[in-house]
Each structure stands twice: as C-alpha cells, then as structure tokens.
Amino acid sequence: MRVSREEAAKSRERIIEVAAKMFRERGFDGIGVADLMKSAGLTHGGFYGHFASKEDLMAQACSRAMEGSQNTLHQVAERGGGNALSAVASAYLSPRHRDRPGEGCVLAALGAEAARHGSPVRGAFTRGVRSAIDMLARLVQGKSKRAKRERALAIYASMIGALVLARAVDDPELSEEVLQSALASITRIDSTS
C-alpha cells in the first residue's frame, strides 16, 4: 500500500521528533532503529525510505532538538525583559530541565557522544552552538562585540557543564548545589559588568 507524500512527510516528522527525545534520554547507541520506528508507530522497514542512515537521523534529530531549545530560550528571554539573561539561566539550570533530559538541551545530553561522530552530527551541534552563542551575546553586557561573545561562550559552557554535572551525580543535594552555584555565578558576573 502506497502512502501519499503528505503521509510520508508526517511520518518523517514523527520519526525525527521521537528520535530527538529518545536520543536525549538514552544516548545515540542506547536505542536502535527498530525501537525508534516502533516508538514512532511505524515499521522498521520504512526507515530507509526516510533517512540515508541512522547517522542521518541523528543529525536531523539533533538539529530539531536544538531548534526547539533555541525557540524556548528565546521565549524565556523575551518574557525576562531587562533580566533576560537571568531568566534564561534560571530556566536552563532548573531542576525541571535537569530531570527531563528527553525534553531538554541536546548538548548537555549528547555533547560527549557527538564528539565521536562524523560531520553530519557534529555539524548539527556546531550550528546549534553558534546560534546559542549569538543569542546569549545579545543578552550579556560588554564593552565590545568580542567581549560580549567571550562572555556568552563562558556562560554557555558553564550552563552546559553544570547541567551535565547535576545529572551525573547521585546526591540530590549536590546536584541542586551545582545548579544553584552556576546560576549565582552567571547572574553575579553579568550584574558586575
């Protein structure tokens, strides 16, 4: 039975959405194509009609996850008004974000794994990092464009690192301390500029 182009496009979108969530929850190697397709409500046989390889899907899923994260952070920044950076850092370094890796930052969930993959996946991460740095550079204070970019890079690295550490430890108090310390550092640095 043939499916229409519209149905095929919907299936492809569903696969990408499911993969974006499941890769962040389980890692790239933590779920296979058959289980991804099953979770998307499709059969394994149709995978290669949509994607050239699992790596192709990984790159597209990471791009989609980064776009979603960027959209969320832009909305948080807009709602934050004059305290946009603080609002973004607070949302990013929250227990809710820590506890929902499948819905959160793909860099914190998969960054170390991405470093071991090829250009399609690493290219998706590169585009996402550039976009995030550009957004943060507009939120921070600084005397020059370069100073703002440096500060944005340091803040982004701090946020990602703190989230990775907070997820990695098995001590809830230490996890919370990591998040709160990073948040305090980011908001203190920006307010003294």
**pLDDT number for residue 136:** 96
Model confidence at 22: pLDDT above 80: yes
Q: Which residue has the higher pLDDT, 46 or 158?
A: 158
Q: CB–CB of 24/36 below 8 Å?
A: no
For the chain, give the percent of residues with pLDDT over 70.
96
Phi, psi torsion values for 187, nearest 5 degrees: -70, -35
pLDDT in tens, 78-132: 999 989 999 999 999 999 999 999 999 999 999 999 999 988 999 999 999 999 9
Contact (Cβ atoms closer than 8 angstroms) between residue 120 and residue 58: yes
**pLDDT score, position 190:** 52
Tell me the C-alpha distance between 28 and 111, whole Å.
11
Confidence of residue 8 (pLDDT cuts 50, 70, 90): confident
pLDDT of residue 77: 96
Single pTM value for the model: 0.90
